[in-house]
Chain A
Amino acid sequence: MNGRRRSFLRLMSVVARRDYLRTVRRRGFLIGTLLLPAAIAGFTLLSALFNPALQPSPPPAEVTVANESTVALIVPTGVQLRQMSRQEGLAAMESGQAGELYLIPASYPATAAIQRLTPGGRSPSIEDLQRWSGQEQVLSAVLRLSLLADAELPPPVVERLLAPYQISTVGTDGETPTPGFEAGFLLPYVFTLLFVFSIFITSGYLLQSVTEEKESRVVEIVLSSVPSQPLMAGKIVGLGAAGLTQVLIWVATALAALPFMSERMPALRGLSIDPIVFVLALAFFVSGYLAYGAIFAAIGALAPGTREAQQYSGFFGFFAVIPMIFAGVFFADPGSPIVTVLSLIPLTAPAAMLQLLAVLPEPPWPLVIASLTSVTVFAVLAAIAASRVFRATLLLYGVRPSLGRIVGAITARG
């Protein structure tokens, strides 16, 4: 290794180490990093608190019925249904023994109409509405059973009509059941979104770092000690490592919390993340970050201030959102030409491929390789161009460089 390369690497590592440590020690980074684990912990706690299995059962609904129809009511064991005449029921309401009376008129078999008689002169409260809901379920079950019995059907048929099916899913290999929608698509999809957001959060660190050095007028001192290439390379590596740290903390937290969460959410039980998909996700995270990071670094150098830098970067952020707009197409038709095109355009490829990996059972290797090559080549070219723009425009304080100057800087030799 010659001296020039050694100096380049040494300076790059000094900048990378310093930017990494400075970023991970920032309050904003710590809050951002801990927010997701805190949200998962909070969600787990809340789901435990509100898990119906752990809630005290509400008292069984008690129903007072005046049956004037010809249907003989069959009341299963454990169901509290009091039958009485209309007068007795009204008296029970009067005395407060019943809150309401369900009147099944003689015309019921033909009309299905039932009346709920309530004390006059007051509107129903929320408590009343909740109680009525429970009573309706009881009444519905009792009437369904009674009508079926009235039709003189054999008991096994009645039983089947009341509980028509018990579904289970078995793979053709006779093995693991296919997970449901939540575990099979939604959660991997959320996981990939996390990676896409991480690309932007990390690129945002880079943007912030460059604009801060420019605005605080430190950049000229730094550039007098470090050429623009190792400076930019150091920033990209250091801040990329900070972003990767954040992602890994999130993933580790999610994986650690999965057993606890799947106890509360049965839908999560089938969830697993394929190690190959995880490695590919990391590869797209890194290449996507390098592509967007180079662009954001150049924006930081070009923009007169932080506000302008954020506006410009927002424009490029739109590219990453495009695959999410077509999320339905990714789910319904992963082989669609739209999906292929979005997977090959460098600025949309990271988000597109991360979505595609979530949808497909196996990585589409030819497309993965083509997409990764496209993003990587773009990232390298963008980094070279950004480093030239960085060098040519970083010292223009409060001035917006002309397009000619930017193009001139990018196309300049050496």
Chain B
Amino acid sequence: MTVTQRPLAVAVDNVSKRFGRVDVVAGLSFDVRAGEVLGFLGPNGAGKTTMMRMILDIIRPDAGRIEVFGAAPGLEQQHRVGYLPEERGLYRDVTALDTLTYFGALKGLSGSEARRRGERLLRELGLGDALHKKAGELSRGMHQKVQVIATVLHVPDLLILDEPFSGLDPVNAQLLRQLVLDQRERGAAVVMSTHDMNEAQALCDRILLIDRGRRLIFGGVADVQRAFSSGAVDVRGERLPSNLGALRSVADAVGADGSVRYLLRPGANATDLFRELAASGADVSRFEVATPTLNEIFIRAVAGDERAALVQ
């Protein structure tokens, strides 16, 4: 089953939100499906957190429609969602277990069930000694683990993670990475905003890149990379032409003897270059269309690369 055949977890249709005179979200549309991880990317102030809060029904859109599991966001939907906000904390004078019990109860679990699950997860993550310690007595790393547990305690069908890797130590970052994969594996949908493009590349099935509340890119990671890859080709070999005049498809070349990255002119493609290299008598041992990283795509898209429109 492909991603697009899976049931919809979130459908956002032409949603806008304005604060004062600023359009924080402007006509945004996208969807998230069960069992996929959607990377929600964008520069600071792009409107990611506002969009997430609208999905969570913390704030309401001015226009457009949001559906979570086929209905408008509300109490029933909130119980099926786990949220890890960017600005997160714990009650300082309350024990980790009591905090988890409270959060679980708010998500619809009975008090005893929330307590039982909280205790089990705390022990599983090595926090058995911290069960009855107040949050003020826990280390930052322990805090982070408790917050992650609070997000998944009620086994949500949709996880919304706002900058989840921000401030995490390597151990907790790995824990969170595994948690995201596990949640996807069991069929939960995950929406994850991040500035860490390596994490996005490693974890996400699709990405949504927005800037100033508008959608720039939305598609599968591989599709997006393919769309942005036509601009460069890495070539290794001998007698590679140094005179660019012989290669009409090339705008520029970077590299030295034996290994060159050719930047293609608009409209040219890798096949054109391959033909021209063969005609020039070059002995090509490796010919690879350069795949841009998500980081490169992010920078180019936000800078206004017209190819962003191609993958919308």
- Residues of A at under 8 Å CB distance from B? 3-4, 7-8, 11, 14-15, 18, 22, 212-213, 216-218, 220-227, 391-392, 395, 397, 402, 404-405, 414
Given contacts A14-B105, A22-B94, contact A395 B150 (CB under 8 A): no
- A221, A391, A392 interface centre (most CB from chain B within 10 Å): A221
* Other contacts beyond A7-B75, A224-B58, A405-B20: 16, CB < 8 A: A3-B76, A11-B106, A216-B89, A216-B91, A216-B92, A220-B58, A220-B85, A220-B87, A221-B88, A221-B103, A225-B78, A225-B79, A226-B106, A391-B59, A392-B59, A395-B59
Q: Are B75 and A11 in contact (CB under 8 A)?
A: yes
Q: What does the 1/0 interface line of B61-104 toward A look like (CB < 8 Å)?
A: 00000000000001110110101010111111010000000110
30 A–B contacts from the bound complex (CB under 8 Å): A4-B74, A4-B75, A7-B76, A11-B75, A14-B102, A18-B102, A18-B105, A22-B94, A213-B91, A216-B89, A216-B90, A220-B85, A220-B88, A221-B147, A222-B106, A223-B56, A224-B81, A224-B160, A225-B106, A225-B107, A226-B106, A227-B57, A227-B75, A227-B78, A391-B58, A395-B53, A395-B58, A395-B59, A404-B20, A405-B19
CB-nearest residue of chain A to B78: A225
Q: Does B60 contact A (CB under 8 A)?
A: yes
Interface of B is mostly: loop
| Nearest CB of A to B176, in Å | 16
Of the candidates A404, A405, A414, the one whose C-beta lies within 8 Å of that of B60 is A414
CB-nearest residue of chain A to B102: A18
| Nearest CB of B to A320, in Å | 29
Q: Are B105 and A217 in contact (CB under 8 A)?
A: no
Of the candidates B56, B89, B94, the one whose C-beta lies within 8 Å of that of A224 is B56
| Nearest CB of B to A24, in Å | 14
Q: Give bound CA distance, A7 to B75, whole Å.
A: 7
Return chain B residues, CB-CB under 8 Å to A404.
20
Q: Give bound CA distance, A15 to B53, whole Å.
A: 21
CB-nearest residue of chain A to B136: A216
| Nearest CB of A to B120, in Å | 20
Q: Give bound CA distance, A217 to B166, whole Å.
A: 15
Q: Give bound CA distance, A260 to B88, whole Å.
A: 54
Chain B interface bracket (under 10, 10 to 19, 20 to 34, 35 or more) = 20 to 34
Q: Give bound CA distance, A14 to B89, whole Å.
A: 20
Return chain A residues, CB-CB under 8 Å to B53.
395
Return chain B residues, CB-CB under 8 Å to A212.
91
Return chain A residues, CB-CB under 8 Å to B20.
402, 404-405
Of the candidates B78, B89, B94, B106, the one whose C-beta lies within 8 Å of that of A217 is B89
Q: Are A221 and B76 in contact (CB under 8 A)?
A: no
CB-nearest residue of chain B to A222: B106
Q: Are B83 and A221 in contact (CB under 8 A)?
A: yes
| Nearest CB of B to A222, in Å | 7
Return chain A residues, CB-CB under 8 Å to B87.
217, 220, 397
Of the candidates A8, A213, A397, the one whose C-beta lies within 8 Å of that of B75 is A8
- B57, B79, B106, B107 interface centre (most CB from chain A within 10 Å): B106
| Nearest CB of B to A302, in Å | 16
- A8, A15, A18, A222 interface centre (most CB from chain B within 10 Å): A18
Q: What does the 1/0 interface line of B146-172 toward A look like (CB < 8 Å)?
A: 010010000000001000000000000
Q: Are B58 and A223 in contact (CB under 8 A)?
A: yes
| Nearest CB of A to B46, in Å | 17
| Residues 224-268 of B at the A interface (beta carbon under 8 Å) | none
Q: Give bound CA distance, A412 to B267, whole Å.
A: 52
Q: Give bound CA distance, A15 to B105, whole Å.
A: 9
Return chain B residues, CB-CB under 8 Å to A3.
76
Return chain B residues, CB-CB under 8 Å to A220.
58, 83, 85, 87-88
Q: Are A224 and B91 in contact (CB under 8 A)?
A: no
Q: Are A217 and B88 in contact (CB under 8 A)?
A: yes
CB-nearest residue of chain B to A6: B75
Q: Give bound CA distance, A402 to B57, whole Å.
A: 23
Q: Give bound CA distance, A414 to B60, whole Å.
A: 10
CB-nearest residue of chain A to B111: A14
Return chain A residues, CB-CB under 8 Å to B74.
4, 227
Return chain A residues, CB-CB under 8 Å to B90.
216, 218
| Nearest CB of A to B76, in Å | 7
Q: Give bound CA distance, A7 to B20, whole Å.
A: 33
Given contacts A220-B87, A220-B88, A395-B58, contact A225 B103 (CB under 8 A): yes
| Nearest CB of A to B159, in Å | 11
| Nearest CB of A to B72, in Å | 12
- A7, A220, A222 interface centre (most CB from chain B within 10 Å): A220
